[in-house]
Structure 1
Amino acid sequence: MPASLRFRLAFATSVLVPGIHPDDAHLADCLRERGIEPTACVWNDPAVDWAGFDAVLMRSTWDYFQHYAAFLHWLERLPVPLINDRALVRWNSDKRYLLDLAAQGVDIIPTRLATAADLPACARAMAGQELIVKPTVSGTAWHTVRGRAGEPAFEAALAALPRDFRYLVQPFLPEVLAEGEWSLLFFGGHYSHAVIKRPAAGDFRVQSDFGGTSQLAEPPPNVLASARRALAATAALGHADIAYARVDGVVADGGFRLMELEMIEPYLHLGAWPEAAERFAAQLSERLAGRALTC
């Protein structure tokens, strides 16, 4: 029988997925059993009374990067704590954090920063290489292009990108197609489970929106160790209390190359690993009880 209500937890969502996502359904049930009522709230809905909740867990805010200034304003005005706090979310919302991690010794995919105006020159300096270009603030392959530097079609794609963004320029790693991309899930700093994601035939994007698939897999020891180093580097940068994280990367040249750290609204693959939802619910219960929750 569910426990009596102790806390109200807002699941921040978006107009894309306004309710509790099916992958989070078991997590929501586990929370209710612990006396925590999860309520889906669209993050930019002005009618939501955020002060009526004990905390906010960001889940399917999958359009925040399309409304970035409003999102940052919303973060600052939230009257209750965030699970994964504000400073961590701000830092993680701009992929320039990859360079911060590289400075800490994390093995990332080689990354250059460029304005839209500088993209042609940046591409010319990497002539002949197959590249991926994406905004520093983005998600779900938004405004992401792939092509070979120097080819007219790629130059045209670069010219068509929005002019007011900054971009990451990275070599495309064919291992994504051949071997897939790893996602390792951590809760409270402890490894939980992992999946390997593969793109659909003829595509390079591993997201399910584009036909990509994922399956549970056990990461090799070096992959797990590399993921832990990325989280340790994040802690060294001042973000030690990480309630949940997804570490994405690919094995290339015998080592794990970090592609992204997802600590805002990652798909957690809880439907494939229900025990993870139960552990996460237990951790959230402890945080809401005041033992680990901070503003």
Structure 2
Amino acid sequence: MSIQLAIATSAAYPTIHPDDAHLAASLAALDIELQVCVWNDPGVDWARHDAVLVRTIWDYFEHYDAFLAWLDRLERAGVPVINPVALMRWNSDKRYLAQLESLGVPTIPTRLAARDALAAALAAFRGEDVVVKPCVSGGAWRTVRGTAGDAAFERAVSELPAGDYLLQPFVQAIVDDGEWSLLFFGGEFSHAIVKRPAAGDYRVQEQYGGRNDAVEPDAATLAAARHALATCKALGLGDASYARVDGVVVDGRFLLMELELIEPSLFLADRPDAAERCARVIAARLEALRAANAPRMPESA
């Protein structure tokens, strides 16, 4: 009997995204029956599926309470999720960066502040180029960059909605050299890209004109990404079938920017080999889940 796998998407991306097309085809070829489901569609019966693969739920941070409630429902129903629910909960709030830094993972220096405390926090950075972003966000959502002390920038910060924010120095290397994304499937390195912003911008996302270039990481960059993942794994939140480690190299040192374990773009469109590796890892995880949940035969007397 084939495995019934729900692929969780969002209303804005209700079908298989082109970047995931070969991944979906590879899963189907492994006798996994796929059904695309919008994550916050109340009509979906998630318990009908053997597992859920989270993909393009690219609006979860805009509906964060509903997202956490959805994870709770999946957990209560006993529906396995790839990646695990506990891992996704942890990864959904960027406070995890402070935890990883405390455990020895080099990151971009980060200060946490509630919206009402941002003005006081920015005073310590007067004259510096800084970035303010929500602790729960994605795709540069509600992200503001400017010079601390500049009236227009501080007005923009004051207009941010209530919530908790990260305050970071802007890293010029993102513009000069790009932002690294290293992809791992089942803990093994697969491939890497460097994301570069459009001229005059600092945001590397494609919707802002950013572009992606395939690259091979040097030994130090790859080791740093592996260290970040190993530190995360040691927290005991479950194994990641897929992971994307985002960072920037400053003075020869890789600094973690994000550990993407929920719904990252995996940059598979031009890498069918990587899509097939990812599919094999997911299939193996599904078989392990099936074996763990199979009824055991009684021992003979």
TM-score, scaled relative to structure 2: 0.94
Which of residues 29, 47, 53 is equivalent to 2:49? Answer: 53
Which whole-Å CA distance do the structure 2 matches of 1:294 and 1:276 have between them? Answer: 27
What does residue 157 of structure 2 align with? 158
Determine if contact 2:133/2:165 at 8 Å carries over to the other structure: yes
Give the Å deviation of 1:114.
0.3
Determine if contact 2:86/2:238 at 8 Å carries over to the other structure: no
What does residue 177 of structure 1 align with? 175
What does residue 189 of structure 2 align with? 191
RMSD: 1.4
Determine if contact 2:8/2:37 at 8 Å carries over to the other structure: yes
Asked if 1:147 corresponds to 2:146, the answer is yes
Bigger radius of gyration = 2
Give the Å deviation of 1:290.
2.0
Give the Å deviation of 1:293.
8.5
Rate the CA distance shift 1:270–1:294 in 2: closer, same or farther, 3 A.
Answer: farther
What does residue 110 of structure 1 align with? 109
Alignment-mate amino acid for residue 284 of structure 1: I
Local SS of the residue matching 1:12: strand
What does the per-residue CA deviation read over 1:118-160, in whole Å, with 9 as the maximum and x for residues that have no partner?
1011111111110010000000111100001011111111111
Alignment-mate amino acid for residue 28 of structure 2: R
Which whole-Å CA distance do the structure 2 matches of 1:294 and 1:169 have between them? Answer: 43
Determine if contact 1:270/1:277 at 8 Å carries over to the other structure: yes
The farther-off stretch of 185-194 and 46-55 is 46-55
Which whole-Å CA distance do the structure 2 matches of 1:34 and 1:22 have between them? Answer: 19
What does the per-residue CA deviation read over 1:4-34, in whole Å, with 9 as the maximum and x for residues that have no partner?
x611111100011111100000011111111
Which whole-Å CA distance do the structure 1 matches of 2:228 and 2:290 have between them? Answer: 22
Which whole-Å CA distance do the structure 1 matches of 2:175 and 2:48 have between them? Answer: 46
Give the Å deviation of 1:294.
7.8
Local SS of the residue matching 1:290: helix
What does the per-residue CA deviation read over 1:26-49, in whole Å, with 9 as the maximum and x for residues that have no partner?
011111111002221100001111
Give the Å deviation of 1:50.
0.7
Which whole-Å CA distance do the structure 1 matches of 2:225 and 2:9 have between them? Answer: 27
Determine if contact 2:8/2:52 at 8 Å carries over to the other structure: yes
Percent of pairs with identical residues? 57
Determine if contact 2:114/2:164 at 8 Å carries over to the other structure: yes
What does residue 83 of structure 1 align with? 82
Give the Å deviation of 1:292.
8.7
The farther-off stretch of 61-70 and 276-285 is 276-285
The farther-off stretch of 108-117 and 281-290 is 281-290
Give the Å deviation of 1:240.
4.8
What does residue 20 of structure 1 align with? 16
Alignment-mate amino acid for residue 73 of structure 1: A
**Equivalenced residues, count:** 290
What does residue 93 of structure 2 align with? 94
Rate the CA distance shift 1:257–1:33 in 2: closer, same or farther, 3 A.
Answer: same
What does residue 257 of structure 2 align with? 259
Which whole-Å CA distance do the structure 2 matches of 1:137 and 1:176 have between them? Answer: 21
Q: For 1:191-270, what aligned pairs fall within 5 Å after superposition?
A: 191-270=189-268
Give the Å deviation of 1:253.
2.1
Which whole-Å CA distance do the structure 1 matches of 2:49 and 2:268 have between them? Answer: 24
Which whole-Å CA distance do the structure 1 matches of 2:237 and 2:255 have between them? Answer: 21
Alignment-mate amino acid for residue 153 of structure 1: A
Rate the CA distance shift 1:187–1:292 in 2: closer, same or farther, 3 A.
Answer: farther
Give the Å deviation of 1:239.
3.0
Which whole-Å CA distance do the structure 1 matches of 2:202 and 2:39 have between them? Answer: 30
Determine if contact 1:216/1:272 at 8 Å carries over to the other structure: no
Asked if 1:33 corresponds to 2:29, the answer is yes
Give the Å deviation of 1:201.
0.8
TM-score, scaled relative to structure 1: 0.96
